[in-house]
Structure 1
Amino acid sequence: MGAEPWYLAPQSYSVYWPVLGGFALLALLIWAVVVWFLTRRPEEGLDAPMPPQAVTRLRQRALGRIDEIEKAVAAGEMPARRGHHELSRTVRGFVAEVSGLEADTMTAADLRRKGPARLAEVIESYYPRQFGVDESERPSIGAGASAARDVVGGW
């Protein structure tokens, strides 16, 4: 037998593997930045304001709907509970269309934090009449409709 070693001598690493690993990490970093920029929400407040004519038209439509609701409840065609629900929906929809604030899907707490104070007060005043144990009474619709007119008319 010869004096040949029975093991292999250590091999040196090629420079290509660390460079390839560095490029892979750089590619992952670039991919993460691209995904982050593509999925960001657009900045708020960059939308163009609604033309005054459109706001006036939406206001008239909302005020007309408030009148219809009040008359339907007063005539007994609609329960007062549903009337308050419709008032809330009308006011929330008007604010959402005019301002872009997602008032139609916001809770009362969200409205207090992000919305105008008067809107939050009006919506909160409807809650006991909409979701209370007892059916609200017909005379209560007058105060609710008046508050809705104040919010819509003052917008």
Structure 2
Amino acid sequence: MPAAAELMLAELPKEFNDPVAYGDRWIWLALLGLVAVGLYYLAVVWFTREQSVPGIAWVATDSPGAQQEHLDRIDRIEADVRSGHATARDGHQQLSETVRSYVGLVTHLPAPTMTLADFRRQSSRQLTEAIELMYPPEFAPDEVGEAQERFAEAVAHARRLVSSWS
């Protein structure tokens, strides 16, 4: 029977003899495509990841009384707002200026000229929270920014921030 099978195969037309093989280049192109997609997702994850906040470098201040001076300034601001000599909005602006001045004095951050977005990117969570608390009342009208309602909390944050950083 094997001789009969060989004879039968010899009589078949050529297109029925062997299966057609795919070229190797298609496998390599498919693998290259998978690698390209993988590299794309790796690049997206790498370039869009959240950047870590570097530690804040402290500077030795020339004035040993800088901390006490800024705490006294916070006390004066609080007294002015409580007595009615300054509005709560003005108090928030002065608190923000005081905190920024102190941070600019004891760190390498350019705090007096930084925006809220800059603080979120470059500073500690404690400093960012204090500035975030003072920001809306500092720029919005009193009734919109809740300046009076937030003032006591802003004073506490400012006092805690200045007294804890040395």
TM-score, with normalisation over the residues of structure 2?
0.59
Shift in Å, 1:139: 5.1
Counterpart position of 1:148? 158
In the alignment, structure 1 residue 85 sits paired with structure 2 residue 84? no
Counterpart position of 1:16? none
- For structure 2, the residue ranges without an aligned partner over 5 or more in a row are 1-56
Q: Give the 5 Å matches for 1:88-127.
A: 88-127=96-135
- For structure 1, the residue ranges without an aligned partner over 5 or more in a row are 1-46
The AA in structure 1 aligned to 2:154 is G
Which of the pair is proportionally richer in helix?
2
Deviation per CA, 1:8-46: give whole Å up to 9, x if none: xxxxxxxxxxxxxxxxxxxxxxxxxxxxxxxxxxxxxxx
Alpha-carbon distance in 2 for matches of 1:123, 1:112: 10
Shift in Å, 1:103: 0.7
The AA in structure 1 aligned to 2:163 is G
Deviation per CA, 1:80-110: give whole Å up to 9, x if none: 0000000000000000011121011111111
Shift in Å, 1:137: 4.7
Q: Give the 5 Å matches for 1:123-138.
A: 123-135=131-143, 136-138=146-148
TM-score, with normalisation over the residues of structure 1?
0.63
Q: Give the 5 Å matches for 1:35-50.
A: 49-50=59-60
Deviation per CA, 1:44-91: give whole Å up to 9, x if none: xxx99415x83x411100000000000000000001000000000000
Q: Which of residues 55, 67, 86 is equivalent to 1:59? A: 67
Shift in Å, 1:113: 1.1
Indicate the RMSD between aligned Cα atoms, in angstroms: 2.1
Shift in Å, 1:116: 1.4
Larger Rg: 2
Alpha-carbon distance in 2 for matches of 1:134, 1:74: 15
Q: Look up the SS of the partner of 1:104 in the other structure.
A: helix
Alignment: residue pair count: 107
Q: Which structure 1 residue ranges, 4+ long, deviate > 3 Å from structure 2?
A: 133-140
Alpha-carbon distance in 1 for matches of 2:159, 2:59: 22
CA contact (8 A) 1:73 1:138 kept: no
Alpha-carbon distance in 2 for matches of 1:140, 1:48: 29
Shift in Å, 1:115: 1.1
CA contact (8 A) 1:66 1:87 kept: yes
CA contact (8 A) 1:74 1:138 kept: no
CA contact (8 A) 1:69 1:86 kept: yes
